[in-house]
């Protein structure tokens, strides 16, 4: 079984990642740095990272609210809502991008009203954030929900008996227990957002002038020009960023596991 696992990981993960490194090393360090610091590439990285961070923060806040609602309250259609949360996982990202761009365009269902008050979503950086919120929200909800379900209600009762207000109970008792799960969900949503392509390609507009190009689109541009070295060089930077984010998530999970064992 160990051999099967190593073979599968090599074919599916390790060899493709190694090929990215090999192709990117075909250019000199000076060329590598110059490529990454090009205006359109630099702006694409800034757009992807900033938009992903904003979307991850939004997902963390509303993901906590959604998970709290699903765990703490009973209401008609709860099972349906709980199932719909995983829709972004099953729905092709291109379909999500087309749907969001249609809804939030100047003639769309939501975009028409927003454009009348001067708010444009489609083909702007706000549209990118909107798409990333859509694809990243389930990560936070599914990370927080099991912790809330397993949390002993005696902690809250003890806090109330000691005279703590509901707000103080939440921030002093409940939130510290949810912090590792929230950080995990944040990291996963952030990592997903940086590498997202299908859901943002239609709603972003892909304009270098308006800085709505994301890194994944720039890579596709390089591939269409048969510039594999440049594409893999940009992909290598994205790989490093994703690796650091996943390392952060693993560190949080390990520390939470150690804390749980100590308790």
Cite the DSSP H helix spans in the chain. 2-9, 15-24, 29-36, 39-72, 78-84, 87-90, 93-104, 111-116, 125-150, 154-161, 166-169, 175-194, 198-201, 215-224, 228-262
- Residue 61 pLDDT: 93
Asked if residues 182 and 64 have their Cβ atoms less than 8 Å apart, the reply is yes
- Sign for the CA dihedral angle at 23, 24, 30, 36 comes to positive
Residue 95's pLDDT is 84
Judge whether 56 and 193 are in contact, CB under 8 Å.
yes
Structure tokens at 184: 């995990």
Model pLDDT, residue 63? 92
Long-range interactions of 41-45: CB distance < 8 A, separation 24+? 41/215, 41/218, 41/234, 43/208, 43/211, 43/213, 44/213, 44/214, 44/215, 44/217, 44/218, 45/215, 45/237
pLDDT reported for residue 111:
82
The one-digit pLDDT tens for each residue of the chain (263 residues) are 777 777 777 777 777 777 777 777 777 888 888 888 888 888 999 999 999 999 999 999 999 999 989 888 888 888 888 888 888 888 888 888 888 888 888 888 888 888 888 888 888 888 899 999 998 999 999 999 988 888 777 777 777 777 778 788 888 888 888 888 898 899 889 988 888 888 888 888 888 788 888 898 888 888 888 777 788 888 888 888 888 888 888 887 777 766 655 45
Between the two ends of the chain, the Cα-to-Cα distance in Å is 34
Q: How far apart are CA 160 and CA 130, in angstroms?
A: 38
């Amino acid at each position: 079984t160990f051999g099967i696992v190593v073979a599968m990981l090599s074919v599916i993960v390790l060899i493709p990642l190694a090929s990215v490194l090999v192709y990117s090393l075909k250019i000199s360090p000076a060329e590598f740095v110059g490529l990454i610091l090009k205006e359109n590439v630099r702006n694409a990285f800034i757009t992807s990272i900033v938009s992903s961070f904003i979307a991850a923060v939004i997902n963390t806040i509303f993901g906590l609210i959604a998970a709290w609602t699903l765990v703490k309250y009973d209401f008609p259609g709860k099972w349906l809502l709980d199932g719909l949360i995983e829709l972004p996982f099953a729905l092709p990202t291109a379909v999500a991008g087309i749907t969001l761009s249609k809804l939030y365009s100047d003639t769309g269902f939501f975009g028409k009203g927003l454009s009348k008050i001067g708010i444009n979503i489609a083909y702007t950086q706000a549209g990118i954030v909107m798409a990333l919120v859509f694809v990243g929200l389930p990560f936070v909800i599914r990370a927080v929900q099991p912790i809330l379900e397993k949390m002993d209600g005696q902690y809250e009762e003890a806090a109330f008996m000691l005279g703590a207000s509901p707000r103080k109970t939440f921030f002093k008792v409940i939130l510290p227990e949810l912090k590792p799960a929230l950080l995990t969900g944040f990291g996963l949503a952030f990592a997903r957002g940086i590498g997202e392509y299908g859901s943002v390609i239609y709603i972003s507009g892909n304009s270098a002038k308006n800085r709505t190009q994301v890194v994944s689109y720039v890579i596709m541009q390089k591939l269409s020009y048969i510039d594999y070295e440049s594409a893999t060089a940009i992909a290598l930077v994205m790989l490093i960023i994703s690796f650091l984010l996943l390392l952060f998530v693993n560190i949080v999970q390990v520390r939470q596991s150690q804390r749980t064992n100590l308790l």
